[in-house]
Structure 1
């Protein structure tokens, strides 16, 4: 069982149909799984588990939750039978409490599609224990960052920390006529701003994205799908160096950017020239 230090990840999981039509995000996640040490367990903060305070799932066998409607039966037939890890869930709760964060343990919550859709693309064998973690929209980005930092030490124990959401998420554009040949005009400026600020470790700007990022309101009418990014940033474990690397997985339906980020928490090496 590996105890190698893992990066933290942010994954744009797209619509539930990503499970049946994985496209470029499926290619990127499969490649990522091949390059990472195999985790001993996974903690995943999903944009689809919303709670008033941090909640950690401690089910021994998490249910595969089909939290959507109006999709093909094939989606409802999918199961992701990964086991849970109640002992790790208790450790997560203890780490959050030690950081001054209130937390509750939920012995019943399973894996919603924000968790099982990307995990099925990363680890289709479902042979790694999974502990789900909630998102708290009313507490904002700084709180999610603090949650990630509280759990960053788990990366040294072979635990993969994942935030699952979407780098852009405006479902009002579902019927706006966007598609492969017509991309929403806010998508590129928004994701390019985030990439630049992440690479520059500009935490102040990132936490203030609502005011500073171009088209923030169009890209995210509500915060919940971007907040897992701040969890993954915090899980990098460093206030000074995120070590961000963007994996471009395209834009689904013309308005859902499918960016993936991995965070090492280590500044990239800078080559220097010696004087002759």
Structure 2
């Protein structure tokens, strides 16, 4: 493989960081199948900005615990990976050159969409990490274009990750989380949506993927709002036109959180 792939990862519930699930085990082994990147750029569903793209620029980002109601030990986790201010500036300039209103921002720590999967996949926290925002007011086409503007990073051995959730109905998930029902059965409306998306990704059917909101079965049930799916499109765009998709992982947490992961190259 001449270039490092881009990845989409479903980060799931924050307590994936301390749980023992199929997705946890997958994430722990993820780095073993990749070239060691010189830096990691994460487009995370928990970093939102409307009408512009923000790029985290801190040299030593803090760890953000942007959730409530979980085991106390989860709030004690810190992910002390460095940032890379020079890379942040390069990314912002590249985005601006592609027509985005982009800026580097300070005091933006690692949200759980970043540190939860990275703490499992790269536990040494010795690779610089930069975060890029998604726009909750924009859809797949915008985020594909955003990813395309980041595609140059792959030739520089920078790992581009879209961190979101393949399915993300929080109302349904919280009902099962409250009951501690991690092994809940997966409803048909979840599996049919996940199967449809997977088939289109493997087939490289970008036109269908861009229209997922109207074409995919149970799209609105799985994504009442679609910000958690948009990192998938960033990762897909970063792979470039004609890139193939490889499914790396598939499992379910609490029945309704599909934990799929894909590589694009």
Residue 148 of structure 1 pairs with residue 147 of structure 2 = yes
Q: Which residue of 1 aligns with 2:15?
A: 17
* Unmatched 5+ stretches in structure 2: none
Say which SS state the counterpart of residue 21 (structure 1) adopts: coil
Offset of residue 22 of structure 1? 4.4
Q: Which residue of 1 aligns with 2:27?
A: 29
Q: Which residue of 2 aligns with 1:50?
A: 48
Whose Rg is larger? Answer: 1
Inter-partner Cα distance in structure 2 for 1:213 and 1:47: 21
* Unmatched 5+ stretches in structure 1: 265-276
RMSD over aligned CA atoms reads 1.5
Say which SS state the counterpart of residue 160 (structure 1) adopts: strand
Q: Which residue of 2 aligns with 1:272?
A: none
Q: 1:228 to 1:27 in 2, by over 3 A?
A: same
Inter-partner Cα distance in structure 1 for 2:230 and 2:187: 21
Compute the TM-score of the two structures, normalised by the length of structure 2. Answer: 0.95
Q: Which residue of 2 aligns with 1:215?
A: 218
Say which SS state the counterpart of residue 163 (structure 1) adopts: strand
Q: Which residue of 2 aligns with 1:78?
A: 77
Say which SS state the counterpart of residue 60 (structure 1) adopts: coil
Q: Which residue of 2 aligns with 1:228?
A: 231
Inter-partner Cα distance in structure 2 for 1:74 and 1:63: 17
Q: Which residue of 1 aligns with 2:113?
A: 114
Asked if the contact 2:27/2:121 (under 8 Å) is kept, the reply is yes
Offset of residue 181 of structure 1? 4.2
Compute the TM-score of the two structures, normalised by the length of structure 1. Answer: 0.91
Residue 199 of structure 1 pairs with residue 197 of structure 2 = no
Offset of residue 175 of structure 1? 1.2
Inter-partner Cα distance in structure 1 for 2:218 and 2:111: 29
Say which SS state the counterpart of residue 150 (structure 2) adopts: helix
Offset of residue 26 of structure 1? 2.2
Q: 1:22 to 1:165 in 2, by over 3 A?
A: farther
Offset of residue 254 of structure 1? 0.5
Say which SS state the counterpart of residue 55 (structure 2) adopts: strand
Inter-partner Cα distance in structure 2 for 1:214 and 1:248: 21
Say which SS state the counterpart of residue 137 (structure 1) adopts: coil
Asked if the contact 1:56/1:93 (under 8 Å) is kept, the reply is yes
Residue 243 of structure 1 pairs with residue 244 of structure 2 = yes
Segments of 4+ moved more than 6 angstroms: none
**What do residues 142-199 of structure 1 show as CA deviations (whole Å, max 9, x unaligned)?**
1111111001011010100000000000011021677524212211111110111111
Q: Which residue of 2 aligns with 1:271?
A: none
Q: Which residue of 2 aligns with 1:101?
A: 100
